[in-house]
Amino acid sequence: MKKVLIIDYGSQYTQLLARRIREMEIYSEVAPHDAEITNLEDITAIILSGGPKSVNDKDALEIPDWIFKLDVPILGICYGMQALAKKLGGKVEKTEVSEYGKTIIKVSNNVLFSEIPEKIITWMSHGDSVVALPEGSEIIATTYNGINAAVKFSEKIYGIQFHPEVKHTEFGFEILENFLIKIAKLEKNWSLENLIENKIKEIKETVGNSKAIIALSGGVDSSVAAVLVHKAIGEQLKAVFVNHGLMRLNEEIEVKKIFNELLGINLTVVDAQKRFLSKLSGVTDPEKKRKIIGEEFIRVFENEATNEYEFLVQGTIYSDVIESAASGKNTAKIKSHHNVGGLPEDMKFKIIEPLRNLFKDEVREVGKLLGIPEHILYRHPFPGPGLAIRIIGEITEEKLNILKKADHIFIETLKEFNWYNKVWQAFTVLTPIKSVGVVGDERSYDYVLAIRSVDSVEGMTADWSKIPFEILEKASSRIVNEVNGVGRVVYDITSKPPATIEWE
């Protein structure tokens, strides 16, 4: 498939950049800076991302020579621009003026800034600057501090010091579009309809006459993956819901009803609650929880599938892949997921991940095209390890019951005030902390429960939801009055970054 390749140098915005390009109906993929790239003939343009390092560091990440040998248009962003300047013979130094956050730039008459106002606000994040240009280069934008904000290195190679992919940059979408459409001469020819058609064909060819099995959680990702694969291979797919006891209240009942009645997929339910609780007994480390749950999932599947099922279908999406594995040694690993990082090495299945390169909102759009009801598609994201990572510390049956009831009340309250669909993800977290309270005339000593709600598009970045106080007040009041064991409710007002969306 023809694609724009984004070389990742560690920027927190790299995946957002890929998403913005797809919004233009141009397919894009991300690769680590040191990846071995195959199918070079499919690459139509290259974008070099930003990154936290300095190009003058001893261990600075360089641009590989093969990129220039392709002779395709190149755009360097932030670190990418500085790396281009240095590689092509220019000079990058730490300047007296550093620029972080909103910065006004003045642009010149260049195709990259076609139909863009002369002065725009951009989002900067740099201490180093390009202070000397390679021979034949041209400055096409500067900041009011006199810093080079954009450079035309050649007819096909450009660099910009700011981040066009973030919403804080005015006309950022248009600048990217100018590069891809007017400079790289690309066409808008990628669509989710074509992707579905190609995926169904690919799955048919991959599975052939064999059989596949999928774990259904009732969440968006596994639901869409199941329906997509079912479209391809029909009854060759076995759908299994593992009731590990770590799901939301009454989840096992609702999931079976949805898939059997609404989607026509025969669902096998396996009650493994005692098995999982036993394995998790005494475990407090979040990564150990994830690994244990991931391995137990596979072991349950092996018991169900026997030897007749060769393939395991997973609802892995792009954010799972990104956050589960570091992109080389220069990107920090954030966390692992049961459907990526928790797979045991000796598992017997071959993996099919039909949604692996799709962002969450793209997954929902695919679901719509497949005819999945919107009330399923717009359920809030739910982590693979379930409530295990929303109970801080050891997991017990008592804590699970407390959290399920509290979470149900919070979601119910949001729906009552028509706020459920206004936020991206909302849930509760049971902390290991207990605090003193007063119930009637007696002293109480019960758990502190945290409410978490965030607004996001793809989950890579998120801001805490500005939910009206009256909604928070009602949710808090109901929880402390209706859920035995909770004595205090707090609201998490931390964005991502620096925090993650989940607490563990």
Binding-site residues for ATP, in ranges, read 217-223
Residues 63 and 58: their CA atoms lie apart, in Å, by 14
Of residues 384 and 394, the one with the higher pLDDT is 394
φ, ψ dihedrals at 42, nearest 5°? -85, -10
Whether residue 457 is predicted with pLDDT greater than 80 in this model: the reply is no
Whether 375 sits among the annotated catalytic residues: the reply is: no
Q: What is the pLDDT of residues 401-433, one digit of tens each?
A: 999 999 999 999 999 999 999 999 999 999 999
Q: Which of 289-303, 362-376, 385-399, 462-476 has the lowest mean pLDDT?
A: 289-303
Whether residue 164 is predicted with pLDDT greater than 50 in this model: the reply is yes
pLDDT of residue 331: 39
Q: What are the distances in angstroms from CA 368 to CA 12, 88, 139, 317, 407? A: 30, 47, 46, 17, 27
**Domains located in the chain, CATH noted:** 3-183 (3.40.50.880), 210-377 (3.40.50.620), 390-491 (3.30.300.10)
Q: 14 falls in which pLDDT band (50, 70, 90)?
A: confident
pLDDT of residue 259: 84
Listed in sequence order, the residues at least 6 apart from 468 whose beta carbon sits closer than 8 Å to its beta carbon are: 417, 419
Q: Yes or no: say if 145 and 98 are a contact pair by the CB < 8 Å rule.
A: no
Q: What is the pLDDT of residues 66-91, one digit of tens each?
A: 999 999 999 999 999 999 999 999 99
- Write down the catalytic residue from 33, 99, 126, 163: 163
pLDDT of residue 378: 86
pLDDT of residue 117: 96
Of residues 215 and 452, the one with the higher pLDDT is 452
DSSP track, 371-411: T--HHHHTSPP--TTGGGGSB-S---HHHHHHHHHHHHHHH
Whether residue 328 is predicted with pLDDT greater than 50 in this model: the reply is no
Q: Are strands 442-455 and 425-439 parallel, antiparallel or unpaired?
A: antiparallel
Whether 394 sits among the annotated catalytic residues: the reply is: no
Listed in sequence order, the residues at least 6 apart from 269 whose beta carbon sits closer than 8 Å to its beta carbon are: 240, 241, 243, 252, 255, 256
Whether 25 sits among the annotated catalytic residues: the reply is: no
Q: Where do we find the tokens 């799901």?
A: 247
DSSP track, 347-368: --PEEE-TTTT--HHHHHHHHH
Listed in sequence order, the residues at least 6 apart from 80 whose beta carbon sits closer than 8 Å to its beta carbon are: 7, 9, 47, 48, 49, 50, 51, 159
The average confidence (pLDDT) of the chain is 89
Of residues 378 and 336, the one with the higher pLDDT is 378
The whole-model pTM stands at: 0.71
Listed in sequence order, the residues at least 6 apart from 502 whose beta carbon sits closer than 8 Å to its beta carbon are: 335, 383, 389, 390
- Write down the catalytic residue from 99, 165, 296, 362: 165
